[in-house]
Structure 1
Amino acid sequence: MTLITEALGTGDWRGDEVVDSDTWRISLGSAHRAELCAAVAAVETLGLELVDFSREDFPLPTLGPVLHSLVGELMDGRGFVLLQGAPVAGLSERQCDILALGIGRHFGRTAPQKDGRHVQHVRDVGVDPSGSTSRSYQHSGPLGYHADPNDIVALLCVRPAQSGGLSRIVSSVAVHNEIVATRPDLAEVLYQPWWRDLRAGDGPDSFHQSPVYTVDTAGRLTTDYGPDYMRSALRGAHVPPFSTRQLEAMDLLDRLNSDPRFQLDMDLCAGDMQFLNNHVTLHSRTRYVDHPDPERRRDLIRIWLNT
């Protein structure tokens, strides 16, 4: 096994170094917002299902080239981008879905999520986080740092919570390199297979194994971490308890992910759309409290993209 011993060329940043930078924030102007509203209306006129409309059905004459240029930043640069000012106010739920998908399809191909849907609303529906089929997007509790199973995850904020729900991200490359430099013995553990819970029920098909760190043939690092689902995998009858070294490795990884030197916070507002490269970025969320008015409760639209 070969471990990466120095920083990779892409996706390596620290929160305390980029927090005050404007290079990862892209503010949409009035002309761009008008294009987005017109594109949503165009798809509505076509009467297509959400899964069926294409990038060409969602025309963005001036904003499209801007979005296309950001793909390089996501996949070969810093690994995250925040669009600000998407026109969600006054739109119906379907129109917000079209907006999120339309923007996303100018970055790549949208991928199906639960039940084959290409959009998933992240909102509290009152599930028990420990349930065998509960998903992290269905409750208001805090989430451990994790990556989703695709190239890019995007979140469009339709409404923020009354309080909390802060988005936190970290460069998994920077954290990896810190572990390799300071605890190479634990880095080796993270390159080995770990049990994961798919939350697909109680049968053996709900569990699988994969390493936290892998390197492809081009030497690029991919991080697949999700402590919430890794810990819940212990409910599987055939899944052994964590070893002492695994517990130590998880503790170190969790501490570094939450270290202010590495962590970057984003307080997403209505109209913000966050894009993250899952290979080099981990994300988490703080606990949130919803508005008592159901019409004002937190709602984010999640889409998965492959480039």
Structure 2
Amino acid sequence: MANLSASYVPSGNYTDRFWKKEAIREKSTLAIPNGYPKYIDSPLAWTGVEVEAKESEWKLYLSPEEIIAIDAALAKFEVNHHDLSELSSSTFELPAEFSLRLRKLSDQIYKGVGFQLISGLDPSKYTAKQNLIVYAGVSAHVCPQRGFVDVKAKGVVAHIVNVQGSGNGPLTTAPAFTNVPLSFHTDNCEVMAFFYMEPASSGGETILSSLWQTYNELAANRPDVLHTLAKPWVFDSFKSYDFQPPRHVQPLQKLNSDKVPILFRFSRYGILGWQRKRNPDLPAPTEAQIEAADAIQFIAMKNAFKLRTKKGDLLFANDMALVHAREGFDDGRGVMKRHLIKMHFRDPDQGWGLPSSLENEWKTVYGSDEAKRTREEIWHIFHQPGLEEQSSVNG
């Protein structure tokens, strides 16, 4: 495995080795897995250079009038409602034309480049609770359905902070809750959203890449990797197995849908660990699996697009077609500054099909308690120590 990067964050040397090896690799005669597409022709398959030139398709600037409308919707919600779980497009009332403008963003998320950035909000003028109302209220006009973000299927918001940054945080944690670079991964939801509450002192930018572009390049050049990804893997949770057992995952699945032909679900952390090491009682990652993990990481990085976000930006990313990563960042000694709030959404009207193997998981994330026909949501207004351990996906 000398040429493979069996670590969560591959070094630049491994990147160079990967591409040098690819440059001299003989053309494979292996066919792609049976039933999988040879090529995905879609706006969701893009390179960073291509998508950078399409800013008008993925960035929406809020006008002063629209910000006034958001503030009015916030004030009206606070008067008429006390439970944040009542937030919806009907309780967070925006002018019809503005609501329709936001609603059309869903088409870009599902059928366009796969992500949308809304710019112009100022979190510093709201209280912590008001920021959640604005975040979820605006989002309800984009994608109406909220999902849970934690293992218990209770919490609907996750605070992404460097829990080790204050100097008295946990000795070990998942990479998402530190200041290290995050490798490319999915969140196992339909639409992942970030509210950028506070940027890092330096670094920390979100990086997006098209999984469908990665798939096309693997299908053309590395069908062996597709075969590896289409087999069962075991992802460690790095938690008590009573709380979150290992996940048995087929990272690449085919879907019987014209809208979404394949589904990637992937994380290097689940197979390679980081500060917490993989349980030796689990099957060790094979050389083919590590090679596949490297291929996803390096091809995704080659085609990536780095977002230059500002405080107050809202990002919506299609987690079924895109993969995301993060730059490492610096907040200074003893400071926990960088702060993102993550939520999961979906748009039922878009009708993306799912394999039967995911139906129960999607019901858990997006459905209701079938006995009560309700959802019992917990809204964590602030980050609390230990809350990061409830996160279902950690980088």
1-side partners of 2:37 and 2:135: how far apart? Answer: 36
State the distance in 2 between where 1:32 and 1:136 align.
Answer: 37
Aligned-partner residue type, residue 155 of structure 1 = F
Residue number in structure 2 paired with 1:64: 99
**Alpha-carbon distance in structure 1 between the residues aligned to 2:130 and 2:330:** 26
Letter in 1 for 2:297: D
1:145, 1:196 → 2: CA distance? 15
Which residue identity does 1:64 align to in structure 2?
A: S
Which residue of structure 2 aligns with residue 100 of structure 1? 135
Distance 1:206 1:14 in 2: 36
Q: Note the residue ranges of structure 2 that are not aligned, 5 or more in a row.
A: 1-33, 348-395
95 and 258 in structure 1: CA distance in 2 versus 1, 3 angstrom threshold? same
Instruction: Please say if residues 155 and 273 of structure 1, whose CA atoms lie closer than 8 Å, have aligned partners that are also in contact.
Output: yes
Shift of 1:279: 0.5
* TM-score normalised according to structure 1 size: 0.91
Cα distance per residue 1:55-104 (max 9 Å; x no partner): 21101113211111111111122211111112323111111111111111
The two structures, once aligned, show a CA RMSD in angstroms of: 2.2
- Counterpart CA distance in 1 for 2:311 and 2:245 is 35
Aligned to 2:296, what secondary structure does the other structure show?
A: helix
Once the two structures are superposed, what CA deviation does each residue of 1:3-57 show, in whole Å capped at 9, x if it has no partner? 2211232411110112132221111111111111111222222342222322211
Measure, in 1, the Cα distance between the counterparts of 2:250 and 2:73.
41
Aligned residue for 2:289, secondary structure, equals helix
Partner-residue secondary structure (3-state), 1:103: helix
Report how far residue 237 of structure 1 moved.
Answer: 4.1
Higher deviation after alignment, 4-13 or 97-106:
4-13
In structure 1, stretches of 5+ residues that fail to align are none
Residues 209, 81 of structure 1: alpha-carbon distance in 2 compared, 3 angstrom cutoff? same
Q: Give the Cα separation in 2 of the matches to 1:113 and 1:6.
A: 32
Instruction: Specify whether residues 292 and 103 from structure 1 end up closer, same or farther in structure 2 by C-alpha distance, changes over 3 A only.
Output: farther
Tell me if 1:12 matches 2:55: no
Specify the alignment match of 1:123 in structure 2: 161
Structure 2 residue 165 is the aligned partner of structure 1 residue 139: no
Q: Which segment is superposed worse, 16-25 or 46-55?
A: 46-55
Residue in structure 2 matched with residue 109 of structure 1 by the alignment:
145
Q: Is contact 2:121–2:313 with CA below 8 Å preserved after alignment? A: yes
Which sits farther off after the overlay, 98-107 or 236-245?
236-245
Going from structure 1 to structure 2, the CA distance change for 1:19 and 1:291 (only over 3 Å counts) comes to same
TM-score normalised by length of structure 2: 0.71
* Percent of matched pairs sharing the same residue: 22
| Alpha carbons 1:202, 1:236 under 8 Å: kept | no
**CA shift in 2, pair 1:205/1:297, >3 Å:** closer
Q: 2:220, 2:210 → 1: CA distance?
A: 16
The CA deviation string for residues 194-236 of structure 1, in whole angstroms up to 9 with x for no partner, is 2113344255952011122112111522111111122229623
SS at match of 1:206: coil
Alignment partners' CA distance in 2, 1:108 and 1:6: 31
- Correspondences of 1:149-164 after superposition (within 5 Å): 149-164=188-203
Which residue type is aligned with residue 174 of structure 1?
A: Q
Q: Which moved more, 1:6-15 or 1:154-163?
A: 6-15
Residues matched between the structures, number: 301
Q: How does 1:213-232 map to 2 (within 5 A)?
A: 213-219=252-258, 220-232=261-273
**Structure 1 position 193 matched with structure 2 position 232:** yes
**Judging changes above 3 Å, is the alpha-carbon distance between structure 1 residues 88 and 191 closer, same or farther for their aligned structure 2 residues?**
same
